Amino acid sequence: MPTTDELKNRIETALPGSTAEVEDWTGGGDHFRATVVSSAFEGLSRIQQHRLVYDVFGNEIGGAIHALSLTTKVPEHS
């Protein structure tokens, strides 16, 4: 089963410059909640943003990763 650190690293590697916070939602190692901040989300709909993250895991969603709840954000510019 994947760990929260593995999921975090995979997201941040696939979306350079992003930051991800991942938690094991139920403690069982297969339901996760992630907050991802990435400039790659700029100009994309929420669905498109989520699809970018889900594509990192492909067929693992619904398998080893039973559930992945996402919050996606564009970085705030000062």
Q: Does a structural domain hold residue 78?
A: no
The pLDDT assigned to 60 comes to 92
CATH of the domain at 12: 3.30.300.90
Q: Does a structural domain hold residue 68?
A: yes
Average pLDDT in the chain: 94
Residues of the chain with pLDDT under 50: none
The pLDDT assigned to 78 comes to 58
CB contact set of 47 (below 8 Å; sequence gap of 6+)? none
Residues 57 and 22 sit within 8 Å (Cβ to Cβ) = no
Round to whole Å and give the CA distance between 78 and 75: 10
User: How many structural domains is the chain composed of?
Assistant: 1
Structural domain of 30: 4-73
pTM, 2 dp: 0.93
* SS3 of residue 12 by DSSP: helix
Q: Does a structural domain hold residue 27?
A: yes
